[in-house]
Structure 1
């Protein structure tokens, strides 16, 4: 007996056999029961969710010899012929291979003939979006007003490519991806019926690999059975399907979380030795950090512990920064001298961006990490709450800033410009000791202090003070808020402008013009000359 692939053997034959598409099945059944049938239907959805299957079941329901009903009998000649692919009045057209307008015209010429076997002549056009523009145009009139004995069933994975004039002539049904739970249940049923041995936890691997496609899940199960004829075991399948890559991805996240740069290098070397695709590892990291971002909004206790820890300990800004770096790495990965070099540099770049490396000069023993210890974060892009004190491990208690420390003058002397100088102008110096500056930063401008800008500022201050300088931040308190250089400059400008206004208004010539011409001075029209202030 000829072997039938499992995906075809277990293809649903009635509407009741369909899984996960009730929102499509119920309207079709109602239309069949009430005999309110449209002449054109469009089924859309990703691969393997049942578009062609639903079209064939619908064709059986229309042409069943027992009469039009919501469930075909499966025993009459017409139902059997459709199941076996030999029904003369069910004409299946592959839109991907018959794209020419000549093929469409040939199809239209056959429409005028009455059905030979069934009640309706049904044209099932699969991947209809592949038809050419001329083919769509040739089909318009016929699709709008076909003969009473003709029904069009269209299927596509990309409805955006179908002209709006075609969409408006069809009843459109969008098929959803099958849920993991439904895939696991159906795969388990099929494996039991086929008498294959399997561990229950392998079902989740198969379902996650199928990405919502029931056909992919069944086909993958069949492949796994041929590779592992003695039974499906989780460890073997995880290695075969590449889910060991997922474990490496989680280990990388753990290394980020535990501040272990050496561990990052070790993992990258293992990945290189095992010749695992670095791009696939990056894709898993993208997926995991996406889940972390979702967990920060909608907590889910069923998620992996490492994902929950990352969502808890990383800020949303850091997660988005990591995701952006990974996304950009995928686009530029081929530019690297070797995959391993590119991957290691990606991990270190993310590590730097998170502020997990100690950026200080080599001859500063107070800030050198202890042997075989992970350095504490010294670069933090997020600002602590106002009530959070300076960490206790600081070597000295910060003293109030020296009155001689004119923060505005210091900023002007720093070798820094652009965003870095703008960010500093919206801060005020609160306390200083030899190696620590405590700055008060306006809430509106805290986002300017990104990790890269913060590093530039610390380097500029280190050059100015001739020693390693680190920066800590605090949010201004209403009672003790200090003026920033930007606020001082704005205030000076306003005072100067007020004096100019008074000078203009008191001018004798201006007063005479106002009096003689009944004129009025618009204050907003006054501007500074380039040499003012």
Structure 2
């Protein structure tokens, strides 16, 4: 590039129309200028890099342009040029993060009584205002209560909750939003076109995503990408620069999950560890991919047939039910939250993958969900019979299923069990199930459940339910994990996910979040059973 100035500075908007993604703020400010309804104090809030100080400087130009108070400052007069260059004597900028004490505030406010040197208004721009001390806020409050006619305050903060209510109530507040990735991509494309630099669309998507709503960060990353790729920005070099995760790993994880191949999932986790990727980022990206799957499954018309991975998306959609995807999404979110509590990030990440594998509805459970009642015939193979039960007339019936454990899964919930006896049944897995004999396996970690008194109570309940004595044999063995307890926990997690989704999608809640910039306390949401 001929111009070595940083892109974030070079392409900073000079007027309201140049602001990206903040139409709601622009509309309100433009209307107030056109109607000459000015306030003495403005507060701009929002995360870093969304344009708070940029809006503040444009507002300072709008108030002091030599053309008069206007929503479209000329950008050419002495005042406009001086503000753009940072040399306007009547625009006093203070970084509250480094000037927190009351003395700095008092000195600043003592000068507020004097008329502006060369402008219509003396404008005080205080950035990160929430960092001021309590005494400094009290000093400011006196001026905010009775401000001189020639003074305007513009406050900016990333944390409005730390500002005293007495100060907030005296300001006109505007909340700047994070910039959507799509708008950032468009802006980056416009800037690169003007700079005469080529870039892949996929690379720009990566940069926009990495910026996390901050256009300033996106432009800083774009500067890095230009240098890193020698002004020919492509997806490969951008991924390398960002340390971004290759989407192939994410698809491979879900494909291994679809095949219930835990070994393959751990192998991918090992590859990611060798590559030194952040597992928090992997789970975030995995949740994003699951969101794409869920959306494409429910609204297939949104799928872009031109996307290179569309075939893999369609294949995964066929493997998973909508409930599966919702469950995996919730597990990924919980996994991110649990990473800090795990022994190490690798353990936390792999445990999250195993949780998906364990809680995934197995083929056997899907078969159990389709059980049907039928009369027993002499030629019914023993391996196809499940738990025997009786109807109100005492007629013996059987449940036709495909494996011993499916029979046990279908039967357990019908038994009237309590306490430790119920836990024994819940944590058992059947390796043999026939009309006369049931063999149950319990994992080593649950061997305390094999007390004789609990075994006897379970046998007694089976006899009552089936109408006859059945030989029940218990053993300690390694199990697959498809037990009634696991399926119960899976169901609980799915219901929790549905409850959270119901709250998050509620229009009233969405209105509160949008209006007050609120955040849901997800841990407080409980499903109603």
Q: Distance in 2 between matches of 1:89 and 1:27?
A: 24
Counterparts in 2 of 1:195 and 1:252: CA distance versus 1, 3 Å: same
Check whether the contact 2:50–2:216 (CA below 8 A) recurs between aligned residues. yes
Per the alignment, residue 20 of structure 2 pairs with 19
Deviation of 1:266 (Å): 2.3
Per the alignment, residue 271 of structure 1 pairs with 272
Q: Distance in 2 between matches of 1:98 and 1:89?
A: 19
Counterparts in 2 of 1:340 and 1:177: CA distance versus 1, 3 Å: closer
Alignment counterpart, residue 384 of structure 1, candidates 360, 369, 383: 369
TM-score using structure 2 length: 0.69
**Could you give the per-residue CA deviations for residues 228-263 of structure 1, whole angstroms, max 9, x where no partner exists?**
114111222123323334432232122112322232
SS in 1 for 2:201: coil
**Could you give the per-residue CA deviations for residues 84-120 of structure 1, whole angstroms, max 9, x where no partner exists?**
1111110011121111122222222111111111010
Check whether the contact 2:125–2:154 (CA below 8 A) recurs between aligned residues. yes
Map 1:163-174 onto structure 2 (within 5 A): 163-174=164-175
Per the alignment, residue 399 of structure 2 pairs with 431
Counterparts in 2 of 1:168 and 1:349: CA distance versus 1, 3 Å: same
Deviation of 1:157 (Å): 1.6
Q: Distance in 1 between matches of 2:316 and 2:146?
A: 59
Check whether the contact 1:44–1:159 (CA below 8 A) recurs between aligned residues. yes
Deviation of 1:9 (Å): 0.8
Deviation of 1:273 (Å): 2.6
Counterparts in 2 of 1:319 and 1:181: CA distance versus 1, 3 Å: closer
Deviation of 1:385 (Å): 6.0
Counterparts in 2 of 1:459 and 1:395: CA distance versus 1, 3 Å: closer
Per the alignment, residue 179 of structure 1 pairs with 180
Deviation of 1:199 (Å): 2.5
Deviation of 1:41 (Å): 0.8
Counterparts in 2 of 1:332 and 1:132: CA distance versus 1, 3 Å: same
**Could you give the per-residue CA deviations for residues 237-295 of structure 1, whole angstroms, max 9, x where no partner exists?**
12332333443223212211232223212212222332323332223223334555666
Counterparts in 2 of 1:461 and 1:92: CA distance versus 1, 3 Å: farther
SS in 2 for 1:201: helix
Per the alignment, residue 104 of structure 1 pairs with 105
> Mean Cα displacement is larger for which, 274-283 or 27-36?
274-283
Q: Distance in 2 between matches of 1:76 and 1:318?
A: 62
Q: Distance in 2 between matches of 1:214 and 1:399?
A: 61
Alignment counterpart, residue 352 of structure 1, candidates 354, 358, 376: 358
Per the alignment, residue 75 of structure 2 pairs with 74
Where do 5+ consecutive residues of structure 1 fail to align? 357-376, 408-427, 446-451, 471-484, 490-533
Alignment counterpart, residue 458 of structure 1, candidates 417, 429, 440: 429
Q: Distance in 2 between matches of 1:73 and 1:294?
A: 46
Q: Distance in 2 between matches of 1:400 and 1:27?
A: 70
Q: Distance in 2 between matches of 1:272 and 1:156?
A: 38
Check whether the contact 1:108–1:142 (CA below 8 A) recurs between aligned residues. yes
SS in 2 for 1:71: coil
**Could you give the per-residue CA deviations for residues 52-97 of structure 1, whole angstroms, max 9, x where no partner exists?**
1111011011111221111111111111111111111100111211
SS in 2 for 1:256: helix
Q: Distance in 2 between matches of 1:73 and 1:179?
A: 29
Deviation of 1:430 (Å): 4.6
Q: Distance in 1 between matches of 2:118 and 2:203?
A: 46
Check whether the contact 1:89–1:122 (CA below 8 A) recurs between aligned residues. yes
Alignment counterpart, residue 385 of structure 2, candidates 398, 401, 409: 398
Check whether the contact 1:461–1:469 (CA below 8 A) recurs between aligned residues. no
Deviation of 1:201 (Å): 3.3
Check whether the contact 1:101–1:134 (CA below 8 A) recurs between aligned residues. yes
Per the alignment, residue 223 of structure 1 pairs with 224
> Mean Cα displacement is larger for which, 91-100 or 21-30?
21-30
Counterparts in 2 of 1:143 and 1:227: CA distance versus 1, 3 Å: same
Q: Distance in 1 between matches of 2:190 and 2:400?
A: 71
Per the alignment, residue 360 of structure 1 pairs with none
Deviation of 1:170 (Å): 0.8
Check whether the contact 1:100–1:135 (CA below 8 A) recurs between aligned residues. yes
Counterparts in 2 of 1:402 and 1:228: CA distance versus 1, 3 Å: closer
Check whether the contact 2:94–2:126 (CA below 8 A) recurs between aligned residues. yes
Q: Distance in 1 between matches of 2:159 and 2:167?
A: 13
Does 2:139 correspond to 1:138? yes
Map 1:219-368 onto structure 2 (within 5 A): 219-292=220-293, 301-302=302-303, 305=310, 313-314=319-320, 318-319=324-325, 321-333=327-339, 339-356=345-362
Q: Which has the greater radius of gyration?
A: 1
> Mean Cα displacement is larger for which, 189-198 or 88-97?
189-198
TM-score using structure 1 length: 0.68
Deviation of 1:169 (Å): 0.7
**Could you give the per-residue CA deviations for residues 304-354 of structure 1, whole angstroms, max 9, x where no partner exists?**
655666566545664455445444544554666665455434423331222
Q: Distance in 2 between matches of 1:39 and 1:119?
A: 13
